[in-house]
Amino acid sequence: MNRSLIAKICTIAVILGIAACMFVIGRGHTVYFDAKSVEYNGETVEPGYRTAIFVNDERVARLSAGDRGMATCIGQSFKFRVEVTPEKGADPVPYEFSIKLPYNMDGIVLNVPAMIAGAPQDVYLSEFVSMAVEVSTDAEEEIITDEFSLGDI
Amino acid sequence: MKKSFKSILLDNSVPIMFIIICAICIPLSGFSPTYLINEIITRLGRNAFLILSLLIPIMAGMGLNFGMTLGAMAAEIALIFVSDWQIWGIPGVVLAMIVSIPISIFLGWMCGNLLNMAKGREMVTSYIISYFLNGVYQLVVLYMMGPIIPIKHSTIKLPRGYGIRNTVSLLNMRQCLDNAWAIRIQGVKIPVLTLCIIALMCLIIVWFRRTKLGQDMRAVGQDMEVARSAGIAVERTRIISIIISTVLAGFGMVIYLQNMGNISTYASHSQIGMFCIAALLVGGASVDKASIGNVFLGVILFHLMFIVAPKAGAVITGDSMIGEYFRVFVSYAVITVALIMYETKKRNQKSNAARQLQLDQEAEEA
Amino acid sequence: MEQTNTTTFMDKLKGWAHSFGLPRLIIAGFLLVLFIAAPIVGADFWMQVTNTINRFSWNAIMVLAMVPMVHSGCGLNFGLPLGIISGLLGATLSIEFGFHGFMSFVMAIVIATPFAIIFGWVYGQLLNKIKGGEMMIATYVGFSSVSFMCMMWLLLPYKSPNMVWGLAGKGLRTTISLEGYYDKALANILQINIGKLSIPTGAILFFALLAFLMWAFLHTKTGTAMTAVGSNPTFAKAAGIDIDKTRTLSVIISTWLAAIGILVYEQGFGFIQLYMAPFYMAMPAVSAILIGGASVNKASITNVIIGTILFQGIVTMTPTVMNNMVHMDMSEVIRMIASNGMILYALTRKSEA
């Protein structure tokens, strides 16, 4: 009796442990990359002519100055590679970054020129606050509760 | 010999009927074999786990568990939370399964207790329980989520500030299980991980049948009174079988929804029980006997019919809705026929037993 | 002396409350609260009463259809949609044949009757084969027939331009307006209007007539035989009653009443609803009679009347009162929980069966 109780408690503990683990490693973030000019140390840091972003060796964005790109990341450690083409026709300059994303932010904006300039986190990183979602077209969304669904199964 | 052939035919009449329906509809629909195989494998991965959850209550003699809907509701609630917490990918799927466990256990425990109060009409009771809890589910999801149960993201909340939207997107965990380890053979995508999970579940069920608890369940399923006199806690065993079924249905629903990629908050669960039960019966199972083989044969035949019927119906009658209605009709008709066959069999057995008893008594007297 | 009197009275009250059942008390209390709350929150009281009476007149006959099958021991008729389909066939054929006004209502009943008898007979034969498992199979017979008719509504060669899809010229519409046919055919007979209160006397009288006939039938020899079959089959068999035949008769009556019930419902509602509409119509009727005090194997005309008033009262009152009170419409959810909870309660009670 006692042994089975201990076994039960252990099982529950293990399951809770897995759940806690999932909370940490499964947290998803949407990361936005800005190729925009930024004020840092009293100077203006300008973006290059073209900025290409690679995550896991896959190009997720190719930005002109002033553009914004997007990628998703599961977990808090985020690694990506940037290739900046300073001006038209020039060779791209690669940079590697590995940063910790803050857990509580869903959307994160990274300013790439600031990162390249070596600015601290509070300069290059800010939270993305979505506006577009609030303006939903379905303001009076009808709730279908008792329908007979003929849909796909 | 001839008689045994006839009885085999009779025992498998439902699968045979379905093979004939499919054989007629497939050429009419004009789908390519690759497309069909692809669809069947997708649906096998999507539905097999859910249907496996039905096996244990059948073993315990409680019939087709229409209350598996409860597990589906638990899974949906868990997935709503997980998508609000923004846990993505496989971790999200695992977390959703874990979160669904306590809800499933609670609902299953409740369902099991109610079914113990309604012995002999478990099926209709579990059926009504699923409706009743659908009401409770709506109360929770439509009114309590938001003000009482915190939901942060406006993407899943209704604009009015409480309640969940009609569809909750699971874009970030869409097919994450299916795509992990997926291989493609000549354009057919095989979701190896999902199939592995299903295979594992089959092994667990086979193992479970041999455990003490599994044996008890079979004893209870055969005869409650005999089991009771053998010292088995009948009520407890029955409750456990329903709890296990509900929890498994919850897991199955998570797998199902990660494949679909979104939750129809108020509709996903409502028909799932019916379709799963129909598929199991198409596979040749009956109310008191079902095997793992029935599950797979059932998924393949039932879904083959489901894929080809609308197109074939459109070809025959010129109206695509006919096929849609046809497949719904067939699902219901299969369940009806299976229920009728089960009840007549039960009644025949009873009257045979009574006749035997009478004969015995007469022999004794003589 | 007085002491004993009060105790017996209290005992009586307790016994009465016990037999009435806790869920029923809760539902009756809930309705009472709604009626008291309605004027306070600013809902129009007489409007509510009118709605309740109207909805009673629409639904009562379908609830009445439960009675014969409960009496003969077939349980609650979850197969009500089968009868509803006979009614729908009668309604659509009556319009198709070009009948108008009140005549279309009469003809709908006339045409529906043979369908109801045939369907009811087949359904009764089926239920005789599966004694003990009636309710589950009844549910699925209902569902199968509804989904089968979904195909038929599209395929049958209906021509009347008022009923078929305008563009395709074939296949019946999901809802068909009864204007010019039997819209309010019964309700308008002898309708009483006092201020805001209006009573559809004709429809209520029609129900009263059928209810009286049912009551009278249950007191005939065949009727008492039916009750005997339900309450004690062994005794009935010993008394020489043909059990299967009696049960079949009860199923036919139930199916026919369901057919009439849907026609009366339509004349009040003003539309014929086809396709999936009959699907869930058994549930409200089943829970209404249970709320009225019936159980799986006992039901009376009083149960029908009380149950329908309580159930329809809640259905009409909750949306308005709720909307006025908290500005959210929880009526659908409350209806689902109350009606299914009631069925669940009846099924899980240690019944005499």
Angle, CA of C296, C302 and C186, to the nearest 5°: 110
Specify the pLDDT at position C19.
67
Q: Is residue C104 part of a domain?
A: yes
What is the total residue count of chain A?
153
Picking from B86, B167, B247, B266 by the largest number of A CB atoms within 10 A of its own CB, the best residue to mutate is B86
- How does pLDDT run across C240-292, given as a tens digit for each residue? 888 889 999 999 999 999 999 999 999 888 888 888 888 888 888 988 888 88
CB contact under 8 A, A148 and C332: no
Is C140 at the interface with chain B, CB within 8 A? Answer: yes
Residues in chain B within 8 Å Cβ distance of C141? 336
Residues in chain C within 8 Å Cβ distance of B347? 129-132
CB contact under 8 A, A146 and C332: yes
Distance from CA of A63 to the nearest CA of B (A): 24
Q: Is residue C51 part of a domain?
A: yes
For B119, nearest residue in chain C (alpha carbons):
C348
The proportion of chain C whose per-residue pLDDT surpasses 90, expressed as a percent, equals: 25
Q: Is residue C232 part of a domain?
A: yes
Is A133 at the interface with chain B, CB within 8 A? Answer: yes
pLDDT level of residue C45 (50, 70, 90 thresholds): confident
CA C288 to chain centroid, in Å, comes to: 8
The domain total for chain C is 1
pLDDT at residue C352 is higher than 50: no
pLDDT at residue C114 is higher than 50: yes
Q: Is residue C161 part of a domain?
A: yes
CB contact under 8 A, A106 and B275: no
Q: Is residue C3 part of a domain?
A: no
Domains along chain A with CATH numbers: 28-127 (2.60.40)
> Rounded to an integer, what distance in angstroms lies between the CA atom of residue C325 and that of residue C317?
12
Picking from C333, C334, C350, C351 by the largest number of B CB atoms within 10 A of its own CB, the best residue to mutate is C333
pLDDT at residue C162 is higher than 70: yes
State the helix-helix crossing angle for B192-210 and B234-260, rounded to 10 degrees.
170
What are the domain boundaries of chain B? Answer: 2-365
CB contact under 8 A, B329 and C150: yes
DSSP assignment of B249-292 equals HHHHHHHHHHHH-EEETTTTTTTHHHHHHHHHHHTT-BTTB--H
CB within 8 Å of chain C, chain B residues 286-345: 317, 319, 321-322, 325-326, 328-329, 332-333, 335-336, 339-340, 342-344
pLDDT at residue B297 is higher than 50: yes
**Tokens read off for A131:** 């506006």
Domain boundaries, position C87: 43-348
Q: Is residue C86 part of a domain?
A: yes
The proportion of chain A whose per-residue pLDDT surpasses 70, expressed as a percent, equals: 84
CB contact under 8 A, B324 and A27: no
**Per CATH, is B2-365 categorized as 2.30.29?**
no
Specify the pLDDT at position C350.
62
- How does pLDDT run across B230-245, given as a tens digit for each residue? 999 999 999 999 999 9
Is C329 at the interface with chain B, CB within 8 A? Answer: no
In this prediction, residues B298-310 reach a mean pLDDT of 89
Residues in chain B within 8 Å Cβ distance of A26? 87-92, 94-95
Helix ranges (H only) for chain B are: 2-11, 13-29, 33-52, 55-59, 68-84, 89-117, 122-138, 176-179, 192-210, 212-222, 224-229, 234-260, 272-282, 292-317, 320-365
Q: pTM score, two decimals?
A: 0.87
> Rounded to an integer, what distance in angstroms lies between the CA atom of residue C271 and that of residue C265?
9
In this prediction, residues C295-299 reach a mean pLDDT of 82
Interface predicted TM-score of the whole assembly (ipTM), two decimals: 0.85
Is C342 at the interface with chain B, CB within 8 A? Answer: no
Residues in chain B within 8 Å Cβ distance of C347? 118, 121, 124-125, 128
In this prediction, residues B100-128 reach a mean pLDDT of 91
Q: Is residue C32 part of a domain?
A: no
In this prediction, residues A71-95 reach a mean pLDDT of 86
C-alpha torsion C184→C187→C193→C198, nearest 10: -90
Is A137 at the interface with chain B, CB within 8 A? Answer: no
Q: Is residue C188 part of a domain?
A: yes
pLDDT at residue B337 is higher than 70: yes
Specify the pLDDT at position C121.
94
Distance from CA of A126 to the nearest CA of C (A): 38
Q: Residue C242's domain is classified under what CATH number?
A: 1.10.3470
Encoded amino acid at B350, one letter = K
